[in-house]
């Protein structure tokens, strides 16, 4: 849009007073308030942290594959971590803690919510930008320092936090047990800041989806990605403050001598676990729901077929999000929590299988009698479905409390969480990145490299993580620096070494993805408006879309999954295409409609 558009237009859109002629370098690349640029910033940040988390995982796997042998190049590490390259137990604990923390909070979460939330919500609902673009920029510029604070904790006296990503008290509540003082405190501060970032983001997404849908974009014409992101935002909005509260109490125990979690003076160690998991389980659904959305969209596009049971899919997302609040105790079956409570949590937990079942079977239904085009993002989505089934089913074992006695805190859990988080969330992310890459950067990612990366990742991922189920069943505990300390675990060393080799191969294929991602920025084939012949609004505008996205408000005529409509020569029917015979009212660059009055407020919002 150009300057001639009246401020009132912006008041609807909520970014009043922003000049829409191209802003300068700083405003474009650094402190941009354009949701597309912020999405790219989040993408860069979280991919770097994903790489970091992966690298930490490599070190973990080195220790587990070849216990006690010096890490190649590990000599550079200080004495306090790995004298002569030999990893110390306390450093191993920090590695595991930081791996989990970075992957969950700084890789997967920002990738799903930060990247796709920012990129897709305005584009798919037909809005020129977020409701509060400056708040949006703030949420990114809070996430970055949070990440660096977390990173810095490696360098401080006593090393990084080493109490697991769950930081159970009292281990985490006082340095006297671990020798980690400042590191644990930085962990707490960093997550607190990150939580604030997610909350500002959530406020923005929710408001935007509610108030800024284009004419004709009714709730049940929203793409499933937007539905998933909207519900995810609600979860983040309500879950992150719980974590914030818990972090504050733990930080107070660490610093000003309070005793919330220290039993010696009346504290309750289990209180931390209840607070953490009351946040934690909704959190894991924050980490999967957006992938549900992405996958639904890509599957339907690849299958050239409407998503099977749209309404059921929406309801399933809502049901999962709701049930997610009343199952947290399934992480605490062995914690000494009242066994009667355990029974309740067991029942609520298994019920979550039902909405998940709806999703899985509806995805299968979408492929039934389809006309499948096997493009790369589609393959990743299929992988997502097949692997989420495995991860979900392993969840059923643990949901049964008596069985959990055997597998709690073993590699069975590690297998479960990687099947849902890598096989699930991350495969969904791969699908999403490759699918919307042209919309973000105006170029396609390389197909050949794409196929190779997919094949390698799928194979070696399973070789790496599937055997972990069995390690768990044989009783190998998590967070175990050297299994060979136990006679009954020593025979498992062979399998651990095998897993490590698979992981190294897996990692190599991830580098291929990095290469593809970076080189395609420059050499990728130029992308037209709608490379995937898709239906949702983002494909109606140039790749990448101009600042302000649409010319005024696009008009929406139908749902987002109208593929293979009978009687049309095209096998897709875009949301923005007027019914045959009608002309689109305002796709021709005329300014947006008058605000409907109640939008005055947005103005100050933005002067703030």
580 lies in the binding site for another protein (CB under 8 A): no
Name the residue number minimizing CB distance to ligand HEA: 392
**Shortest CA distance to 118 belongs to which of 148, 139, 147, 144?**
139
287 lies in the binding site for another protein (CB under 8 A): no
- What's the min distance (Å) between Cβ of 304 and another protein? 5
Which residue, 181 or 501, has its beta carbon nearer to ligand HEA? 501
The DSSP string of 13-69 is HT-TT---SPP-HIIIIIS---HHHHHHHHHHHHHHHHHHHHHHHHHHHHHHHSTTS
Question: Which whole-number Å values give the CA distances from 524 to 101, 327, 446, 519, 558, in the listed order?
Answer: 33, 46, 6, 7, 32
CA pair distance 408, 355, nearest whole angstrom: 24
Taking CB within 5 to 8 Å according to partner kind, which of another protein, ligand HEA, Cu ion, none is near residue 425? ligand HEA
- What's the min distance (Å) between Cβ of 523 and Cu ion? 43
Which residue, 428 or 559, has its beta carbon nearer to ligand HEA? 428
3-state secondary structure 394-452: HHHHHHCHHHHHHHCCEHHHHHHHHHHHHHHHHHHHHHHHHHHHHHHHCECCCHHHHHH
**574 token code pair:** 């875009």
**Counting Cβ atoms within 10 Å, is residue 463 exposed (0-12), middle (13-18) or buried (19+)?**
middle
**Distance from the first to the final alpha carbon of the chain:** 23
Among residues 553, 560, 574, 575, the one that binds another protein under rule CB under 8 A? 553
Which residue, 39 or 138, has its beta carbon nearer to ligand HEA? 39
Among residues 44, 48, 372, 511, the one that binds another protein under rule CB under 8 A? 372
Among residues 102, 116, 132, 277, the one that binds another protein under rule CB under 8 A? 132
Taking CB within 5 to 8 Å according to partner kind, which of another protein, ligand HEA, Cu ion, none is near residue 514? ligand HEA
Q: How many residues bind another protein (CB under 8 A)?
A: 162
Which residue, 363 or 563, has its beta carbon nearer to ligand HEA? 363
User: Which residue ranges make up the site for ligand HEA (CB under 6 A)?
Assistant: 47-48, 50-51, 54, 57, 60-61, 64, 96-97, 99-100, 103-104, 108, 164-166, 284, 287-288, 330-331, 349, 352-353, 356-357, 360, 389, 392-393, 395-396, 398-399, 404, 408, 413-414, 416-418, 420-422, 424-426, 464, 478-480, 503, 506-507, 510, 513-514, 517
Which residue, 408 or 453, has its beta carbon nearer to another protein? 408
Among residues 189, 351, 459, 521, the one that binds another protein under rule CB under 8 A? 351
Which residue, 281 or 305, has its beta carbon nearer to Cu ion? 281
203 lies in the binding site for another protein (CB under 8 A): yes
Question: Which whole-number Å values give the CA distances from 278 to 240, 252, 271, 281, 560, in the listed order?
Answer: 10, 20, 10, 6, 35
Question: Which whole-number Å values give the CA distances from 44 to 140, 149, 415, 430, 440, in the listed order?
Answer: 11, 18, 28, 14, 12
Question: Which whole-number Å values give the CA distances from 122 to 45, 54, 126, 562, 589, in the listed order?
Answer: 21, 31, 6, 20, 18
For another protein, the binding residues in 138-197 under the rule CB under 8 A are: 162-164, 168, 170-171, 177-179
Among residues 5, 238, 459, 505, the one that binds another protein under rule CB under 8 A? 238
CA pair distance 187, 198, nearest whole angstrom: 16
Taking CB within 5 to 8 Å according to partner kind, which of ligand HEA, another protein, Cu ion, none is near residue 163? another protein
591 lies in the binding site for another protein (CB under 8 A): yes
Per the document, the length of the chain is 608
Among residues 113, 249, 298, 534, the one that binds another protein under rule CB under 8 A? 249
């Amino acid at each position: 849009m150009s300057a001639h558009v009246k401020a009132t237009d912006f008041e609807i859109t909520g970014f009043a007073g922003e000049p829409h002629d191209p802003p300068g370098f700083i405003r474009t690349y650094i402190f941009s308030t354009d949701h597309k640029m912020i999405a790219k910033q989040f993408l860069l940040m979280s991919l770097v942290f994903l790489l970091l988390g992966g690298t930490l995982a490599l070190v973990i796997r080195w220790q587990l594959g070849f216990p006690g042998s010096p890490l190649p190049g590990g000599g550079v590490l200080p004495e306090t971590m790995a004298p002569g390259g030999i990893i110390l137990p306390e450093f191993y604990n920090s590695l595991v803690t930081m791996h989990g923390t970075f992957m969950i909070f700084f890789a997967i979460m920002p990738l799903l919510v930060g990247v796709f939330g920012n990129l897709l919500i305005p584009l798919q609902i037909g809005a020129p930008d977020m409701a509060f673009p400056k708040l949006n920029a703030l949420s990114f510029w809070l996430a970055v320092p949070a990440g660096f604070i977390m990173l810095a904790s490696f360098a401080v006296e006593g090393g990084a936090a080493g109490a697991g990503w769950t930081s159970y008290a009292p281990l985490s509540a006082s340095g006297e047990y671990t020798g980690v003082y400042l590191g644990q405190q930085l962990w707490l501060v960093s997550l607190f800041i990150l939580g604030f970032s997610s909350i500002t983001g959530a406020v923005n997404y929710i408001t935007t989806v509610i108030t800024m849908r284009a004419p004709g974009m009714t709730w049940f014409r929203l793409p499933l990605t937007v539905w998933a992101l909207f519900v995810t935002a609600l979860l983040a909005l309500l879950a992150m403050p719980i974590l914030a509260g818990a972090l504050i109490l733990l930080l107070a125990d660490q610093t000003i001598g309070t005793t919330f979690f220290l039993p010696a003076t009346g504290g309750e160690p289990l209180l931390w676990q209840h607070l953490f998991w009351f946040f934690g389980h909704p959190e894991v659904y924050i980490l999967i729901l957006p992938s549900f959305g992405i996958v639904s969209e890509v599957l339907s596009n690849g299958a050239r077929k409407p998503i099977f049971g749209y309404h059921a899919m929406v309801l399933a997302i809502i049901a999962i999000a709701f049930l997610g609040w009343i199952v947290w105790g399934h992480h605490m079956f062995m914690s000494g929590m009242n066994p009667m409570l355990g029974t309740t949590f067991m029942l609520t937990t298994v019920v979550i299988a039902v909405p998940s079942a709806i999703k899985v079977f509806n995805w299968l239904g979408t492929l039934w009698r389809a006309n499948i085009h096997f493009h790369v993002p589609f393959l990743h989505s299929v992988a997502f479905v097949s692997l989420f089934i495995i991860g979900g089913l392993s969840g059923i074992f643990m949901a049964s409390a008596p069985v959990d006695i055997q597998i709690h805190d073993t590699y069975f859990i590690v297998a479960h969480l990687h099947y849902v988080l890598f096989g699930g969330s991350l495969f969904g992310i791969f699908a999403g990145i490759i699918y919307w890459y042209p919309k973000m950067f105006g170029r396609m990612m390389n197909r050949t490299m794409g196929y190779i990366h997919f094949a390698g990742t799928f194979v070696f991922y399973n070789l790496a993580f599937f055997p972990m189920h069995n390690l768990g069943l044989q009783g190998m505990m998590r967070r175990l620096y050297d299994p060979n300390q136990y006679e009954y675990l020593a025979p498992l060393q062979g399998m651990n070494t095998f897993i490590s080799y698979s992981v190294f191969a897996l990692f190599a294929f991830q580098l291929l993805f990095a290469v593809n991602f970076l080189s395609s920025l420059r050499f990728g084939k130029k992308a037209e408006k709608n490379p995937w012949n898709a239906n949702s609004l983002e494909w109606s505008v140039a790749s990448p879309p101009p600042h302000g996205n649409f010319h005024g408000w696009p008009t929406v005529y139908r749902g987002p999954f109208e593929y293979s409509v009978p009687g049309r020569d095209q096998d897709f029917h875009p949301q923005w295409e007027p019914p045959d015979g009608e002309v689109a009212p305002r796709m021709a660059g005329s300014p947006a409609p008058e605000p409907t009055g109640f939008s005055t407020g947005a103005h100050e919002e933005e002067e703030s």
